[in-house]
Amino acid sequence: MRALKFLVVEGNTLEVRERVIAHLGHDPGVEYGELLCSLAPGASYDVVYGADLNTKLPTREEIKNYDGIVIGGSALNLPESPAEAMRQVDLAGRAFESGTPFFGSCWGLQMAASAAGGKVAPAASGREMCFARNIHIVEDHPLLDGRPPAYDAVAVHVDEVATLPEGTRLLASNHHSRVQAVEICHEEGVFWGVQYHPEYSLFFVAGILRRLHDSLLEEGFFADGDALEAYARDLIHADAGERDVSWRLGVSGEILNKDRRVLEIGNWIEYMVRPNAN
């Protein structure tokens, strides 16, 4: 069996990437690529920075050189239609045209849905922060193979897919956002994606909390900066395995156990990427 090769699209601007690196010490696109390699030993990856206007994005034919393409998260907002976002919608369209197995989490889902003719809008319930609670499976599908009928996941988003494109199977929902997991068939390609972030650890989420400090206080998530910082520390302690903290936060093994947390990405590799590569 030959080694797999992935294309990772990192959707943040340089400014946001630099803030993430300052908080967490690593580039989020590289982090996603390393996760893919841990799930597919021997694999390699390239990272393309989708929001960098001076960066040439791969063509449909160039995408075909990869066994799978992944689009991760971004602090951009598609409803505002900035050029940094629209060029990534175009890239998602090329991914569909290429027929290459395609996966996305959060921003990646929104890119794929928009490229296929759907609509993304500000979430009607506001920001979903830290956790997407009580996600329930609405249709059996290999993407969610191994998940219980209802589960929690790491989530950070303020926009959501408001209108699904044709060719979509809705796979999971919760009370906050109807669209939590989907399959989209469009052009020559098949996309599997989730609105939540299986690639994010609680340590990573703590860094996001700190980066979004002002917005979260304005939106009423925390009474003050001290409360936010205390919650961020709790996330880090829970991530380190401190059971009393994870119990207080109501965090289960679906998030704390890395093998469980990244299940959707692993399922995509096993059910979509490997069969097409062979």
pLDDT per position as a tens digit, 81-134 = 899 999 999 999 999 999 999 999 999 999 999 999 999 999 999 999 999 999
Residue 257 within a domain: no
| Cα(188)–Cα(125) distance, integer angstroms | 34
| pLDDT tens per residue across span 9-68 | 999 999 999 988 887 778 999 999 999 999 999 999 999 999 999 999 999 999 999 999
Place of tokens 């969610």: 144
Strands 44-49 and 5-10: parallel
- Please compute the mean of the pLDDT values over residues 185-210 and round it to a whole number: 95
pTM: 0.95
Residue 124 burial (CB < 10 Å; 0-12/13-18/19+)? Answer: exposed
Question: Does residue 83 sit in helix, strand or coil?
Answer: helix
Strands 181-186 and 150-157: unpaired
Strand partners, 130: 155
Q: What is the pLDDT of residue 26?
A: 81
Strand partners, 160: 121
Q: Indicate the average pLDDT of the chain.
A: 96
Residues 193 and 207 in one domain: no
Q: What is the pLDDT of residue 194?
A: 98
Q: How many domains does the chain have?
A: 2
Reference 143, options 10, 3, 269, 274; nearest CA is 269
Residue 56 within a domain: yes
- Please compute the mean of the pLDDT values over residues 220-234 and round it to a whole number: 97
Q: What is the pLDDT of residue 81?
A: 87
Residue 232 within a domain: yes
Both tokens of 202, joined, read 């609680």
| Cα(192)–Cα(264) distance, integer angstroms | 9
Is a pLDDT exceeding 80 seen at residue 267? Answer: yes
Residue 96 within a domain: yes
Rounded (10°) angle between helices 14-24 and 28-39: 70
Residues 134 and 159 in one domain: yes
Determine what percent of the chain is predicted with pLDDT higher than 90.
Answer: 94
Q: 1 to each of 40, 43, 63, how far by Cα in Å?
A: 11, 11, 21
Q: What is the pLDDT of residue 1?
A: 67
- Please compute the mean of the pLDDT values over residues 160-171 and round it to a whole number: 97
Residue 139 within a domain: yes
Residues 213 and 181 in one domain: no
Residues 6+ apart with CB under 8 A from 247: none
